[in-house]
Structure 1
Amino acid sequence: MRVAILGTRGVPACYSGFETLAEELGARLAQRAHEVTVYTRKHLAVNGLAVHRGIRIEVLPAWRAKTVETLSHTALSCLHASRRRYDVVLLCNAANAPLIPLLHARGLPVLLNVDGIERKRRKWSRLGQAYYRWCERLAVRFADTLLTDAAVMRRYYRRAWGRDSVMIPYGGDLEPPGTGTTLARFGLQPGGYILYVARFEPENNPDRVAISYREVPGTTPLVMVGGAPYAPDLVQRVRAAAAQDPRIVLTGFVYGEGYRELLFGAAAYVQATEVGGTHPALVEAMGAGRVVFFLDNLPNREVVGGVGVPFRFDSEPTLTSRLAAFLAAPATFAELGAAARTRVFERYRWDDVATAYERALEELCRA
């Protein structure tokens, strides 16, 4: 089976969930003797790298502006893919749904991973929100198979648009890291810090996490991994909060081995997302056996399933009070980390995810 993966920033993974999916899924499909190509944005590509973990890399440019970067790169990718001999396309992001007819014109079936409800992100203007709602409509109309990554998203598309979907989550069973230098580079000790990982976007609440942590007693660092290319005001608020508390460590984006060192070395993990379905970083923290503190909402609750600690920002139990209790008596929370790891190995294994995607893609090829 010759598979093209379009609509992500590409591989090696260096940004968010779709890129993690492209790499982890693509590598496993390649191991199963499928030919996998991932379309990668030129400004994020590794110079001279044509194959990564068995995945072929096709590099194309993108117009680097918040409102058009994704669509411009995917449009070029669709035109390029339509001239190649692929059997099926995995297209990521409902924002790319208007481009599906380009692929259909060349007889290419499309499995569309819609992601979360993007129009709910506060970074978008009313016009942007209207565009994303229009894309949802086109997604259910054009996609040969619609794919969601959480039960809550599957219910949304059924209720809002009357279209069922295949539900396949992300995996979270990462390999433990080797002995590296990442912790030392940031002055950290194994088991001696709290970890937060996310793009710095309003719905991920990095500023509120930093501000909340300033009220947590003790000397334990809060390590915040992430950033944002198109949110300078929010990034500045996070930096301002960190400047007032020397315990807050801003690392910028960290990937690969360095990311796994930070993840497996943390005492606990904070998930503060409001929008989306299954968040890869949350599942990975659970798979690493970390104690997880999560913003209490339906998508996060679905993933954690009772083996984490919920919090709110505006009422009790707050993130501040939850983390203060944890740092005062971490041993009382230890069984949650073990239970989280068990949940991931029961429900969120990458090999199982790859098998489900393989089945969905092969069904499209046969159809």
Structure 2
Amino acid sequence: MKIAILGTRGIPANYGGFETFAEELSSRLVQHGHSVVVYGRTNNIRYEGTCYKGVRLVLLPTISHKYFDTVAHTFLSACHVLFQDVDVVLICNAANSVFSFLPRLAGKKTVVNVDGLERNRQKWNALGKAYYRLSERLSTFLPNAIVTDAKTIQAYYQDRYGKRSYFIPYGADSSRLESRDCLDRLGLEPEGYFLYVSRLEPENNALLAVQAFERVATDKKLVIVGDAPYARDYIARLRSTSDPRILFPGAIYGAGYRELQSHAFCYIHATEVGGTHPALIEAMGCGRCVLYLDTPENREAAGDAAIAFTKSPEALAEKISAVLADPGLRADCQRRAVERIGKRYRWEDVTAEYERLFRELLGNKAQSQPSDDRARLPSDASAQEGLPNDHQAALKSESLGSAGRRR
């Protein structure tokens, strides 16, 4: 098959989850014999080649502004791909749904990976939130199909819009990186630090992690990895801490990121908006003990393989102290984490499900039937399968217009 991936900043990944997703999926699709092109932004990608890991790269300009960066680039990409020899166009981010009809004009099958409920991010003003809400609705009929990477989000689209979606989760590796180059540069010792990784935006709660750690008596450090192009005031507030144990090395990708994940004493996951968060399952795949903010999406990914905390510095500080005091608790979480990722979040399985979906859309149904229920279009009854009862009730409430209250 000939496949194009739009809607990300491009590869090699150097920003966030969608970029890592594009790199991991596209490179594996190439290994499986498909032809893949990934569109990237000239204001983000510094890689000078036209091909990366066998994936063809197309870089196009955009408008470097919080409200226009994504949609301006995706519009240009959708126009460009109209004239390319591709069978399937995969568009990332529900905000780009408005352009998903364009490739269809040229007879190409179009899929949108909607991610989470992005309109709940604090960085968006009322107009931005309204655009995301409109984009959610557009995603239910403009593309040929939509993909959700968490069952909680799948159930939301089913309940609110009556839209059936393909559930295909994000992927993670179940392996450690034993090298320590990044640790050496930062002056860190293996298992001598707690790790937090995310874009440094308010709803990702890095400040909560900082405030919690300040309350804990330990010689270990807290490493806050990440950055954000439109959150300078928030980042300045984070860095104003007087605790010398807390480090801010900025954004780290590739081998350095994997080294930090592999050697952390514990990983803190505090995000509250989105579907399946890459850093959460990547930390679990590395066999790390994980403390996670208790939201339906995070709970779905972590299962019984991690430790939940409520949204307060005191609650997180209590959990940090617990894993410091109980080696057995930490070891049990590490073992369960690796087992869970190996069963549910393997990149090879994710790639196979996308292949099945693309083939089904192209009419090759004999080759496209899923091996399990993950990628099938769910019946109304099964859309909420596997969700906790309290979240099923919350989804009912949200469908009546109360989406913001469960965050």
What secondary structure sits across from 2:141 in the alignment? helix
What aligned pairs does 1:295-310 form with structure 2 within 5 A after superposition?
Answer: 295-310=293-308
Between the aligned partners of 1:343 and 1:100, the Cα distance in structure 2 is 34
Report the counterpart of residue 97 of structure 2 in structure 1: 97
Report the counterpart of residue 335 of structure 1 in structure 2: 332
What aligned pairs does 1:1-367 form with structure 2 within 5 A after superposition?
Answer: 1-173=1-173, 175-177=175-177, 179-241=179-241, 244-314=242-312, 318-366=315-363
Between the aligned partners of 1:111 and 1:218, the Cα distance in structure 2 is 48
C-alpha distance after superposition, 1:221-264 (max 9, x if no partner): 001110110011111111112xx111101111100001000000
Between the aligned partners of 1:287 and 1:175, the Cα distance in structure 2 is 6
C-alpha distance after superposition, 1:57-113 (max 9, x if no partner): 111111100000000110111111111111110000010011112212111111110
Between the aligned partners of 2:222 and 2:99, the Cα distance in structure 1 is 42
Contact 2:111–2:144 (Cα < 8 Å) also in 1 = yes
After superposing on structure 2, the runs of 4+ consecutive aligned residues of structure 1 that deviate more than 4 Å are none
Contact 2:174–2:341 (Cα < 8 Å) also in 1 = no
**Shift in Å at residue 219 of structure 1?**
1.3
Q: Tell me the amino acid that sits aligned with residue 150 of structure 2.
A: A
What secondary structure sits across from 2:63 in the alignment? coil
**Shift in Å at residue 305 of structure 1?**
0.6
Between the aligned partners of 2:193 and 2:356, the Cα distance in structure 1 is 41
Residues 353 and 143 (structure 1), Cα distance of their counterparts in 2 relative to 1, 3 Å cut: same
Q: Tell me the amino acid that sits aligned with residue 199 of structure 2.
A: R
Q: Tell me the amino acid that sits aligned with residue 66 of structure 2.
A: K
Between the aligned partners of 1:162 and 1:313, the Cα distance in structure 2 is 31
Once superposed, what is the RMSD of the aligned Cα atoms?
1.3
C-alpha distance after superposition, 1:134-167 (max 9, x if no partner): 1111100112011100000000000111101000
C-alpha distance after superposition, 1:264-310 (max 9, x if no partner): 01011001011111001100000000000000111010001111111
What secondary structure sits across from 1:223 in the alignment? strand
**Shift in Å at residue 176 of structure 1?**
2.9
Contact 2:101–2:110 (Cα < 8 Å) also in 1 = no
**Shift in Å at residue 332 of structure 1?**
3.3
Between the aligned partners of 2:76 and 2:52, the Cα distance in structure 1 is 21
Q: Tell me the amino acid that sits aligned with residue 157 of structure 2.
A: Y
Gapped regions of structure 2 (runs ≥ 5): 365-407
What secondary structure sits across from 1:3 in the alignment? strand
Q: TM-score, length-normalised on structure 1?
A: 0.97
Q: Tell me the amino acid that sits aligned with residue 303 of structure 1.
A: A
Residues 110 and 155 (structure 1), Cα distance of their counterparts in 2 relative to 1, 3 Å cut: same
Q: Tell me the amino acid that sits aligned with residue 97 of structure 2.
A: A
Q: Tell me the amino acid that sits aligned with residue 341 of structure 1.
A: V
Q: TM-score, length-normalised on structure 2?
A: 0.87
C-alpha distance after superposition, 1:10-49 (max 9, x if no partner): 1011111111110101011000110010001112223422
Between the aligned partners of 1:128 and 1:192, the Cα distance in structure 2 is 41
Residues 30 and 124 (structure 1), Cα distance of their counterparts in 2 relative to 1, 3 Å cut: same
Between the aligned partners of 2:179 and 2:128, the Cα distance in structure 1 is 45
What secondary structure sits across from 2:248 in the alignment? strand
Residues 315 and 182 (structure 1), Cα distance of their counterparts in 2 relative to 1, 3 Å cut: closer
- Percent pairwise identity: 46
What secondary structure sits across from 1:146 in the alignment? strand
**Shift in Å at residue 50 of structure 1?**
1.4
**Shift in Å at residue 178 of structure 1?**
5.0
**Shift in Å at residue 181 of structure 1?**
1.3
